[in-house]
Amino acid sequence: MNLFKSHLFYCSILLIILIGDSTIMEVTRSSKLQDFHAPNDHFELIRSYPDEVMDIRGYEQAMLEVKADKMSASRSDGFDLEWRVEGPKNIGARINAMAVPAGKEDTIYIGYALGGIFRTYDGGSTWEDIFENEERLSIGAIAINPENDQNIYAGTGDRNLVSLYRIGDGVYKSNDGGDTWTNIGLGDTRIISDIDIDPTDTNIIYVSAMGLPSVPDTNRGVYKSIDGGTTWTHILHINDSSGVNNLVVNPNNPNILYASGWTRIRTNQASIVSGSGSTIWKSIDGGSSWTELTNGLPGAGSGRTGIAMYAPDPDTLYALYVGSNSQLEGVYRSFDGGANWTATNTFSMSNALGGFGWYFSGIYVNPYDYEDVFVEGIQLWRTTDGGSSWATADPSWWLYDVHADKHCMAFLGQNKFLLGTDGGLYRTEDNTANWSKIENNPTNEFYRVAHSPLRPNRYYGGLQDNGSTGGNHLMSEWPRIYGGDGFQMRFHPTDSNSFFAETQNGNIVHTSNGGLSFNGVNVPWSSERRNWDTPYMLSHHDPGTMYGGSYRVYKDASSPFGAWSAISGDLTDGNIFGDSHHTISALDESPVNEDHLYVGTSDGNVWRTEDGGTNWDSLHATLPNRYVTDVKASPTWDSVVYVSHSGYKYNDYIPHLHKSVNNGDTWLDISSDLPTAAINDILIYPGHEDSVIFVGTDGGVYGTINGGLDWERVGTNMPIVATFDVELDTVNNRLIAGTFGRSLMTYPLDSLVSVPIDTSSTPLLGYLTVSSINCIGAGDGSIDLTITSGVQPYSFAWSNGATTEDLNALSPGYYSVTITDNEAQTLILGDTVHSNPLFPPPIIGNLVGPISVQSWVSYNYFVPATGGSVFQWWAVGGSVTSSTSNAATILWNAGPQGEIIIKETDDNGCIAFDTILVDILFVGLENLNSSDLQIFPNPVRSVLHINSPTSIQRAQVFDQKGNVIQVIGTINGAVELDVSSFSRGQYFLHYEEAGIHKAEAFIVE
């Protein structure tokens, strides 16, 4: 049994830093130890850069604009048709919630993490989309009135809190079985995690909320309505960082209810998954007062919690606790309404959650048997003896008979269950002996889509969690072409059997036999900073030439298995403070001129080469400092290029789409009346002289037929769903949209008529030059405006109210100007005045402390204070165990190399970073203490048993060179370690016991 999950969907290496009573898990801040980031960091970064937290109000404002466009009855010819849903329907997506009316087991409602709500009346043979007209499609909870099954409540927001992008807008109510919905409030709670209805008075409703994930929030907790949702009262608030994960109500005495708390904060740089609020609470007076349950339960500091009740005897309860290490901490049972708890035997479940327990919390009691209990995890775990023993209740996840990662469950009878997973809905009618998939809804999440003229009747793409696939609306079963998280597929233009597929972090494979087998492409960026969605492409001019980007651009002139060479230096701002922030995010070659390449980066840079990569010019001085989502060279003119950006700021209308007619020397805002939603992709429709352009946004697809003067939402039936990629089916003349929650759609373009772009007048063009502040406490920034083309005279309207051509004496911030010329042409430009450091001072040059150290030894470091400077410390390859402003103690882990990062903030708020590498001498067993810990067998071939009579922490396995092979974390009692994938040789198990570092050696045969 593999206790340490290693499949492609959730591979991650985490640096754990303890702050207060919470555990913050961050991507390691050094490319030497980690050079990729996870999907949820990817979502956050795209929409928040350059800030740490995405501006929720800006996002909500943009979605309201999108909703207004969607509801508009006016559509121009060509934009007023319907999208066709191509699929897939069979692969499935994450189901967060489900509900079944009493006595109607064939009527099922399911809520998706990003796909809305679907309903079936025939047990899953056919399904109906019943939530497509609402603003938010992320569902966290569904509840049905036990007295009137036409009365349904739905809570929006992703209850697993994987990213801010999945927030909701409150609770919805339907009085007609889901045909129509009304929002009844609690929008400020952002994430609804559970809904319970008082069975004796169905006007009384309880709702649990996790709140805004990114910041401490007073809206977290439990809410109560006594009038069917017309008004709400906040009845439980654990603390600002902790929400409530789920609720249960005593059916015999509905004044008794239980709430499971969870401390959770999520930004693009940190993920708090545990803390003092992860506890279970009880009320006996309908929520007026609450008592924390403790006797036999873990103390404060745990991770996610869950609670379940045996309805026939409501004093029988089960509680699930996730540890601060995101492994299962325990399952506990009470027979007296929570007054006392006993731990069950979860030895066999030590890795049931795979090390990402923040993703799971479901625990369910069979209403026909109080000892029959289920726990969700990578597998579905079950006990039939009240917790004395546990076993999996579904096939091994890698067989794909039942998809990995379970999230909700419903009981149809004593031996008939429904199970919601990351890959759809499953049903068993024989007590889990056999499972069948009964859901076929188009709710998949596409990162990228593709089409090959040589395969004209199929559409392809890469899916979150479900690999690469292809098919069309006539195919009921789309195949899994390749695994992992799927990304860009590229097809050879003359050989139908030759194509590429990509998985996360730029891993590329190639097939020469139509997908029967694949060979890995030896990409040069596997050890470099690169994007979760690493861009690569085949040359428009020579399909034997491939380009790809990490933080620099590479070229392979004899693809797919030739030699790669770097044709640029680092085009990002450098690895300043985290790898994922500084990668190439977009790449394109001009279809007109093979020497013209364009690059965009995750930290706002845009570059051009006009000689095939020998020389590069920066083009971003006058563009927004936002994440670059796409760069597209015109298919018509070699001097025209387009760039799109992401990001949100409330009431800050920074344009997300620009065009250049001079290879990027100057830029024109063509966003016009587009909503302020992030733009994810650009498509220029060939053959129309760039009049027809499509963009995929966080709210759907928009198009223009006049080069960007006016934009319209494309089609009448696409829900408000993020579209990450738009491509063209040149054979059938259809627009392809890869949505993130509603699968792949296509749109007919035959009736579209373009409007020629008027080039009779002199276009209004210009650019800004910024002089940033020298960070001395006074506003001395300036912006100079240069107009390169237009009809005089000009007028100027700056965002700060100025009407002059240039601005001076500026404080830090973003400034925009609207320029109008004598022909009423307008041009909007904007840029940010930054605070340049007054130094960097030689921080590391003044560092006192060793830079050649031994592993598992603590060392003291000191920086002399200068004036009022304040210092912060980080250690890559070690832990800062204590620190003051200018001193720190660092415990170094294994080598061979670590890094000290120091941030200095001076009296004026100026910031500087400095780093120094540290050589770490790995210590094996010599000079280390032994203990009573037992490991056997030794030597070992497959499973190593580890048994510790006391609790040990920071358990990790190293090879003889000091490389970390496996992070285990805390061990309480006995665990099993699967070493079947280890190479033969000697390994060291290092750990801490009572604050003392110890180690044991073992040999893998």
Task: Write the DSSP string, 110-179.
Answer: EEESSS-EEEESSTTSS-EE--TTSS---EEEEEE-SS-TT-EEEEES-TT---GGG----EEEESSTTS
Residue 12: its pLDDT value, please? 29
SS3 580: helix
pLDDT over 90 at 988, yes or no: no
* Mean pLDDT taken over the chain: 87
914 CB contacts (<8 Å, ≥6 apart)? 840, 842, 843, 844, 901, 902, 904
Assess contact for 487 and 36: CB atoms under 8 A.
no
Residue 926: its pLDDT value, please? 47
pLDDT over 50 at 28, yes or no: no
Average pLDDT (76-97) is: 93
Residue 476: its pLDDT value, please? 87
Count of CB atoms situated within 10 Å of the CB of 64: 15
Same fold: 446-748 with 925-1005: no
pLDDT over 70 at 40, yes or no: no
Average pLDDT (95-114) is: 97
Burial class of residue 793 in the structure, from the number of CB atoms within 10 Å of its CB (0-12 exposed, 13-18 middle, 19+ buried): exposed
The separation between CA 701 and the C-alpha centre of its own chain, rounded to angstroms, equals 21
SS3 978: strand
pLDDT tens digits, residue range 936-972? Answer: 898 888 899 998 888 888 788 877 656 667 778 788 8
Count of CB atoms situated within 10 Å of the CB of 610: 17
Residue 905: its pLDDT value, please? 76
| Domain locations along the chain | 92-437, 446-748, 765-826, 844-921, 925-1005
SS3 257: strand
Average pLDDT (565-588) is: 84
Pick the range with the lowest mean pLDDT from 571-575, 935-939, 994-998.
994-998
pLDDT over 70 at 83, yes or no: yes
359 phi and psi angles, rounded to 5 deg: -90, -10
- Angle CA 106–108–112, to nearest 5: 150
Give the number of C-alpha atoms closer than 13 A to the C-alpha of residue 562, restricted to the C-beta side: 14
Residue 66: its H or E element:
helix 56-71
| pTM: predicted TM-score of the whole model, two decimal places | 0.75
Residue 23: its pLDDT value, please? 29
Instruction: State how beta strands 564-566 and 584-589 pair.
Output: unpaired
Using only C-alpha atoms, the chain has a radius of gyration, in whole angstroms, of: 29
Paired with 26 in beta bridges are 15
**% of the chain residues with pLDDT over 90:** 60
Q: What is the DSSP string of 355-416?
A: T-GGG---EEE-TT-TT-EEEESSSEEEESSTTS--EE-S--GGG-SS-S-EEEEEESSSS-
Dist. CA 956–CA 877, nearest whole Å: 13
Residue 799: its H or E element:
none
Residue 447: its pLDDT value, please? 97
Please give the C-alpha separations between residue 507 and each of 500, 503, 524, 771, in angstroms, as whole numbers. 10, 5, 10, 41
Average pLDDT (173-195) is: 96
Assess contact for 715 and 724: CB atoms under 8 A.
no
Average pLDDT (279-303) is: 95
Residue 54: its pLDDT value, please? 82
Residue 685: its H or E element:
none
Instruction: State how beta strands 911-921 and 852-854 pair.
Output: parallel
- The model's confidence at residue 269, banded by pLDDT at 50, 70 and 90, is low
264 phi and psi angles, rounded to 5 deg: -150, 120
- The model's confidence at residue 549, banded by pLDDT at 50, 70 and 90, is very high
- The model's confidence at residue 21, banded by pLDDT at 50, 70 and 90, is very low
CATH architecture of the domain covering 844-921: Sandwich (2.60)
Average pLDDT (231-253) is: 96
Assess contact for 909 and 775: CB atoms under 8 A.
yes
pLDDT over 90 at 851, yes or no: no
Dist. CA 865–CA 872, nearest whole Å: 12
Average pLDDT (154-167) is: 86
Assess contact for 213 and 167: CB atoms under 8 A.
yes
Average pLDDT (656-679) is: 93
Q: What is the DSSP string of 13-59?
A: -EEEEEETTEEEEEE-S-TTT-----HHHHHHHHHHTTSSS--HHHH
SS3 62: helix
**% of the chain residues with pLDDT over 70:** 89
Q: Which CATH fold topology does 92-437 show?
A: Methylamine Dehydrogenase; Chain H (2.130.10)
Dist. CA 544–CA 5, nearest whole Å: 38
pLDDT tens digits, residue range 298-338? Answer: 988 899 999 999 999 999 999 999 999 999 999 999 999 99
Residue 58: its pLDDT value, please? 86
Dist. CA 166–CA 138, nearest whole Å: 6
**Helix, strand, coil share of the chain (percent; to 5):** 5, 40, 55
- The model's confidence at residue 272, banded by pLDDT at 50, 70 and 90, is confident
DSSP state of 811: P
- The model's confidence at residue 895, banded by pLDDT at 50, 70 and 90, is low
Please give the C-alpha separations between residue 117 and each of 85, 184, 477, in angstroms, as whole numbers. 17, 17, 22
pLDDT tens digits, residue range 655-667? Answer: 899 999 999 999 9
Residue 429: its pLDDT value, please? 96
Dist. CA 613–CA 469, nearest whole Å: 33
Task: Give me the sign of the Cα torsion angle 875, 877, 882, 888.
Answer: negative
- The model's confidence at residue 22, banded by pLDDT at 50, 70 and 90, is very low
Assess contact for 249 and 256: CB atoms under 8 A.
yes
DSSP state of 349: G
- The model's confidence at residue 928, banded by pLDDT at 50, 70 and 90, is low
Closest CA to 523 of 515, 532, 534: 534
Residue 894: its pLDDT value, please? 61
CATH architecture of the domain covering 925-1005: Sandwich (2.60)
pLDDT over 90 at 73, yes or no: no
Residue 26: its pLDDT value, please? 27
Bigger pLDDT: 906 or 818?
Answer: 818
Paired with 726 in beta bridges are 737
- In our burial notation (b when 16+ CB lie closer than 10 A, e otherwise), range 442-451 reads bbbbbbbbbb
66 phi and psi angles, rounded to 5 deg: -65, -45
Residue 290: its H or E element:
none
465 CB contacts (<8 Å, ≥6 apart)? 9, 94, 422, 423, 445, 485
- Angle CA 856–857–862, to nearest 5: 135
Dist. CA 49–CA 42, nearest whole Å: 11
pLDDT tens digits, residue range 475-494? Answer: 989 999 998 899 999 999 99
Dist. CA 583–CA 585, nearest whole Å: 6
pLDDT over 60 at 837, yes or no: no
pLDDT over 90 at 846, yes or no: no
Domain 446-748 has CATH 2.60.120.200: no
pLDDT tens digits, residue range 500-536? Answer: 999 999 999 999 999 999 999 999 998 888 999 999 9
pLDDT over 90 at 792, yes or no: no
Dist. CA 659–CA 638, nearest whole Å: 13
pLDDT over 90 at 765, yes or no: no
Residue 173: its pLDDT value, please? 98
Residue 439: its pLDDT value, please? 93
Assess contact for 657 and 694: CB atoms under 8 A.
no
Q: What is the DSSP string of 848-867?
A: BS-SEEETT-EEEEE----T
pLDDT tens digits, residue range 682-728? Answer: 999 998 889 999 999 999 999 999 999 889 999 999 999 999 999 99
Paired with 876 in beta bridges are 899
Residue 899: its pLDDT value, please? 79
Bigger pLDDT: 160 or 37?
Answer: 160
- What is the dihedral angle through the alpha carbons of 845, 847, 848, 850, rounded to the nearest 10 degrees? -90
Burial class of residue 317 in the structure, from the number of CB atoms within 10 Å of its CB (0-12 exposed, 13-18 middle, 19+ buried): buried
Closest CA to 366 of 416, 319, 406: 416
Pick the range with the lowest mean pLDDT from 201-205, 244-248, 973-977.
973-977
pLDDT over 90 at 287, yes or no: yes
Average pLDDT (156-162) is: 89
